[in-house]
Structure 1
Amino acid sequence: MATQIELTRAGEGKHVAVLTLNRPERLNALTRVMEGELRQAIEDLDRDDTVRVVVLTGAGRGFCAGMDIEELEVLPPGDIRAAQWMRPFDMNRRADYQTRYGYFPAMRKPIIAAINGPAAGLGLVFALYSDMRFASEQASFSTAFARRGLIAEHGIAWMLPRVVGPGHAADLLYSARKVPAAEALRIGLVDRLYDPERLLPETLAYADDLARNVSPRSIGVIKQQLWAVPFQDLAEATRVANEAMYASIQSEDFKEGVAHFIERRPARFTGN
């Protein structure tokens, strides 16, 4: 059976994994097959120590147009809570991320969404669950839910205000209007905006810089900090950071971080 996800490797040391949603004729609208393949691919890449950064993008003109309408029409209501999607993630078993798409924050490696076209509904959910969002000037965004008789699903009502602020979040969720790329950059929905031809090369260059020059151990810990801190007060965040710093100072990557700086040479981080 043909796969609906394409996996390639990029970068100087091939440490960047590129996951491409691959149904271009449907603007990469999500099916249950694609959803299962995406989750399995990310879990496999998390266990692969040769991978340090993941870039998620779409084939053709779209990033992801949401759930395929043909599947949505026959989707049983219970699918939203089906056990097959809810198996536990790592993330120190944090209850906040034991959810359908919790495997995005649970992954130890950064996920950068390279949004090349329309991102609607679940496509926007995938973008928000990614660590960073780089977009093409041809990208557009829509929550879509209210125009389908649905609601703000998969925690997006919690995530979106933290990205764009409560007023913009209410606008995007209530109206489900199409937001052009320039406005998405202005309100903070995306972090960088590129000419369409430059989106993937620039995103891969950034990802490769992370893969070659930054400690993968450090990124893994910092990512976990960033996703955990919304549920912590300052005292807990500081205590957790102090414990992580104590462990970091004893790591091989810390020794290498000091050595390559003193010796003025490229870093050779191992992630240990």
Structure 2
Amino acid sequence: MRHQRSVAVITLNRPEVLNAMTRPMAEAYARALRDADADPGVRAVVVTGAGRGFCAGADLGVLNEGADAVRRFLPDSKDLPDLALRLRKPVVAAVSGPVVGIGFAYMLGSDIRFASRETRISTSFARLGLVAEYGLSWLLPRVVGTPWALELLLSGRTIDAEEAARIGLVHRVTEPGEVLSEAVDYAADLAAGCSPSSLAAIKAQVYADLARPREEALARTLELMDASFDGPDLAEALLARRQKRPPAFQPLR
């Protein structure tokens, strides 16, 4: 993990096998996410893959060893690909090349997704005799809608970055070689211009409200609004605007 402009960049680093996932690698990735979330100097996180791909799925050596080996491969529940959704800080995925299987789950588990034009994305589970893994049957319909989620999961076909953007799976498509720098620039803008407390609260609101009735979500929002009016970040934001300077928001502790 390295830092750029209050952004932690976490890299999946097995480029010789297109960053195919192993259990130790999944555990290391989860630790890096937690470390970034706990670090007051980090205000946003970017995840990416080394070399030509983001993550080509689970390591084939594991898959070829049979069901018991695959069961041992599974990360602990606290380390599953949805961990990034449970962090306080925004997580941006910068993907290129193959994004397959568990790699798809890691990409979708990020809050914001950038893809380079050479990205190729596949759920792949149905073509391996598997199910929609890692909670994707819940998350994917909420990202792209039920019809597209079903199509991608049932077909297991490969789509390119432009199609992924068209259906809302990724937010931005970049030129080859530029996805990481654009993702870091985006994350750095969040880090420099947005209140860390606001980012954490908004992220928690959005994911919690997916499972709440509208009336309950509205009531909770009004409570949070009332508390924010007395918070230091609103006063700092208004003062910074009057003084024509960047805001100096306090980090998360």
TM-score (norm 1): 0.87
C-alpha displacement at 1:22, in angstroms? Answer: 0.3
Paired position in structure 2 for 1:155: 135
Residue 199 in structure 1 maps to residue 179 in structure 2: yes
Matching of residues 1-272 of structure 1 within 5 Å: 7-11=1-5, 15-74=6-65, 76=68, 78-79=71-72, 85-87=76-78, 100-271=80-251
The TM-score normalised by the length of structure 2 is 0.94
Cα separation, 1, equivalents of 2:103 and 2:42: 24
Deviations 1:123-152 (A, max 9, x none): 110111100111000001000111111110
Question: What letter is aligned with 2:39?
Answer: D
Report how far residue 8 of structure 1 moved: 1.1
Q: Which runs of 5+ in 1 are unaligned?
A: 1-6, 88-98
Give the SS at the match of 2:105: helix
Q: Distance in 1 between matches of 2:8 and 2:150?
A: 34
Q: Provide runs of 4+ in structure 1 moved above 3 Å.
A: 77-80
Secondary structure of 1:193's aligned partner:
strand
**Native 8 Å contact 1:253 1:271 kept in 2:** no
Shift in Å, 1:107: 0.5
Q: Encode CA deviations 1:96-135: one digit per residue, 9 max, x unaligned.
A: xxx8334211100000000122110011101111001110
- Counterpart of 1:85, as a letter, is D
| Secondary structure of the corresponding residue to residue 178 of structure 2 | helix
One-letter amino acid of the counterpart of residue 176, structure 1: G
Q: Secondary structure at the match of 1:231?
A: coil
Looking at structure 1, the residues matched to 72 and 218 of structure 2 have their Cα atoms a distance apart, in angstroms, of 39
Q: How many pairs does the alignment contain?
A: 250
Structure 2: unaligned runs, 5 residues or longer: none
Instruction: Among all aligned residue pairs of Structure 1 and Structure 2, give the percentage whose two residues are the same amino acid.
Output: 43
- Superposed CA RMSD in Å reads 1.6
Whether the 8 Å CA contact 2:13–2:50 is kept in 1: the answer is: yes
The farther-off stretch of 110-119 and 262-271 is 262-271
Partner Cα distance (2:3, 2:176) in 1: 21
Q: Distance in 2 between matches of 1:130 and 1:50?
A: 20
Deviation at 1:9, TM superposition (A): 1.1
Q: Give the CA deviation at 1:239.
A: 1.3
Check whether the contact 1:144–1:177 (CA below 8 A) recurs between aligned residues.
Answer: yes
- Alpha-carbon deviation of 1:78? 4.3
* Rounded Cα–Cα distance in structure 1 between residues aligned with 2:213 and 2:37: 29
Q: Does structure 2 retain, via aligned residues, the 8 Å contact 1:116–1:136?
A: yes
Pick closer, same or farther for the CA change 1:170–1:102 going to 2, 3 Å.
closer
- Structure number with the bigger relative contact order (C-alpha 8 A, sep ≥ 6) is 2
What amino acid maps onto 1:50 in structure 2?
Answer: G
Q: CA deviation at 1:187?
A: 1.1
